[in-house]
Amino acid sequence: MNYFSSNFKLGIIGGGQLGKMLLQETRKFDVHTLVLDPSESAPCKIACNEFFVGDLMDFDTVYNFGKRAGVVTIEIENVNVEALEALEKEGIKVYPSSKTLRTIQDKSQQKLFYVDNNIPTAPFSRFAYKDQILTAINNESLSFPFVWKSTRFGYDGYGVKIVKTYSDLDNLTAGECITENLIAFEMELAVIVARSVSGQVATYPVVEMEFHPEANQVEYVICPARISDENAKKAQLIALKTSAAFNHVGLLAVEMFLTKNGDLLVNEVAPRPHNSGHFSIEASITSQYEQHLRAILNFPLGSTKSKAAAVMVNLVGDENYNGPVAYENIEKILSLEGVTPHIYGKKETRPFRKMGHVTIVNQDLTEARKIAEQVKRTIKVIST
């Protein structure tokens, strides 16, 4: 397929910030791009060739959109899978595949997939509805504390709760769910694997994720993770195994726990460019976005080596502000060494809403981590 021909069109489902960063990379290859998003004011609108507004969960919308493209990819998981399946049947390339997406969309299926493929993951139980949890507690097959996850539509900490007491049960939604043992972990890690149409693979360095204690959102992503070479190798192998098990094409971000007794357990995966790979724009020889394109267009993959150590800071709305956004002290952080801001352009801030991110690169990771803290302390996402 000649991707440089104006006859070739790449369809991206979802027009959010990840899509926008992906679109910027399509310029390097001059690929003609189509984007589908439910919002008329999606970030991608400014950076694609053709923009379509529509419901991503509607069969006809997704199907008709995909029919315009030669290759279809996603920047969000909540997409009508039946439509993707129909597109595949008609010879349109869909990466990730409908099958992969179907498995990943359902946390219960995702967990079963790990078990079936000998991919280490935390023990879990499945429940068709919430009341079954109470029964399980009463007959002692489940005990506090545990992690509750809605099987569908969870993201960024939504649909996930730590349940410590009976009263915590009141805050859970009623539908299908899983529970997992609460893992005593040392650290949360992530590895991004790229796998191309022809099966070439490349793994990025293992990154370490520090979470905000209240919001259950990643606050810092640190590359490389401060772990032993042995653990790093082990984590990369697990990620590669996961990607191969899915027969995946494109990026797969594999999130893991490093437990207190040194085990690595897969927590969840995202089959697309991922927050844990933003650092790669500044720090890697090939950014995750360029790599995703190389993978799905079946070009040779690029080098995943780092040019520098990096720390990524998520910029989230201050917890005390709601309304039209303002970035306090952005000038101050710009005067620090190696700081690149990425303001996403959302007009309104809310407590803990993701409003952007900042990458800090430095030849010395400890120094980068220090500057990251300074960035975090200095910049405030408030309202005017």
Work out which of 54, 130, 327, 378 binds a second copy, going by CB under 8 A.
327
Q: Is 302 in the site for a second copy (CB under 8 A)?
A: yes
For the bound state, the minimum distance from the C-beta of residue 291 to a second copy, rounded and expressed in Å, comes to: 11
Q: Of the listed pieces 71-79, 181-189, 247-255, 333-341, which binds a second copy according to CB under 8 A?
A: 333-341
Is 188 marked as a binding-site residue? yes
Q: What is the CA radius of gyration of the chain?
A: 21
Q: Is 337 in the site for a second copy (CB under 8 A)?
A: yes
Is 181 marked as a binding-site residue? yes
Q: Give the residue carrying structure tokens 């905000």.
A: 212
| Nearer to a second copy (CB atom), residue 29 or residue 59 | 29
For the bound state, the minimum distance from the C-beta of residue 347 to a second copy, rounded and expressed in Å, comes to: 7
What residues contact residue 216 under an 8 Å CB cut-off, 6+ apart?
Answer: 157, 160
Work out which of 7, 260, 345, 348 binds a second copy, going by CB under 8 A.
345
Q: Is 340 in the site for a second copy (CB under 8 A)?
A: yes
In whole angstroms, what is the distance from residue 9 CA to residue 287 CA? Answer: 22
| Nearer to a second copy (CB atom), residue 43 or residue 159 | 43
| Nearer to a second copy (CB atom), residue 135 or residue 303 | 303
Q: Give the residue carrying structure tokens 């790979």.
A: 277
In whole angstroms, what is the distance from residue 263 CA to residue 191 CA? Answer: 15
| Nearer to a second copy (CB atom), residue 142 or residue 358 | 358
Q: Of the listed pieces 84-92, 161-169, 264-272, 343-351, which binds a second copy according to CB under 8 A?
A: 343-351
Work out which of 172, 308, 365, 382 binds a second copy, going by CB under 8 A.
308
Does residue 191 come out as left (phi exceeding 0), alpha (psi in the -120 to 50 range) or beta?
beta
What is the number of H-type helices and E-type strands within the chain? 11, 21
Is 290 marked as a binding-site residue? no
Q: Is 353 in the site for a second copy (CB under 8 A)?
A: no
Work out which of 1, 7, 46, 115 binds a second copy, going by CB under 8 A.
46
Q: Which of 111, 143, 104, 116 is nearest to 126 (CA)?
A: 111
Q: Of the listed pieces 99-107, 216-224, 239-247, 329-337, which binds a second copy according to CB under 8 A?
A: 329-337
Q: Are 259 and 192 in contact (CB under 8 A)?
A: no
Q: Is 339 in the site for a second copy (CB under 8 A)?
A: yes
Question: Of 9-38, which residues contact a second copy (CB under 8 A)?
Answer: 20, 24, 27-30
Q: Which of 376, 191, 221, 219 is nearest to 312 (CA)?
A: 221
Which parts of the chain fold into alpha helices (H)?
17-29, 59-66, 81-89, 98-105, 107-116, 131-138, 229-245, 280-283, 288-296, 330-334, 365-378
Q: Is 342 in the site for a second copy (CB under 8 A)?
A: yes
Q: Are 56 and 13 in contact (CB under 8 A)?
A: yes
Count of residues that interact with a second copy, criterion CB under 8 A? 43
Tell me: cis bond preceding 96? Omega within 30 of 0 counts.
Answer: yes
Q: Is 326 in the site for a second copy (CB under 8 A)?
A: yes
In whole angstroms, what is the distance from residue 352 CA to residue 381 CA? Answer: 9
| Nearer to a second copy (CB atom), residue 29 or residue 153 | 29
In whole angstroms, what is the distance from residue 369 CA to residue 313 CA? Answer: 10
Tokens in use for 279? 């650092």
For the bound state, the minimum distance from the C-beta of residue 322 to a second copy, rounded and expressed in Å, comes to: 17
Work out which of 11, 66, 70, 338 binds a second copy, going by CB under 8 A.
338
Q: Which of 144, 129, 141, 135 is nearest to 178 (CA)?
A: 129
69 φ/ψ angles, rounded to the nearest 5 degrees: -110, 160
Question: Of 270-299, which residues contact a second copy (CB under 8 A)?
Answer: 282-283, 285-286, 290, 294, 299
For the bound state, the minimum distance from the C-beta of residue 324 to a second copy, rounded and expressed in Å, comes to: 9
In whole angstroms, what is the distance from residue 292 CA to residue 299 CA? Answer: 10
Q: Is 323 in the site for a second copy (CB under 8 A)?
A: no
| Nearer to a second copy (CB atom), residue 49 or residue 125 | 49
Is 107 marked as a binding-site residue? yes
Binding site members for ATP: 107, 149, 180-183, 188, 267-268
Q: Which stretches of the chain bind a second copy, using CB under 8 A?
A: 2, 4, 6, 20, 24, 27-30, 46-49, 282-283, 285-286, 290, 294, 299-300, 302-303, 307-308, 325-327, 330-331, 334-335, 337-345, 347, 361
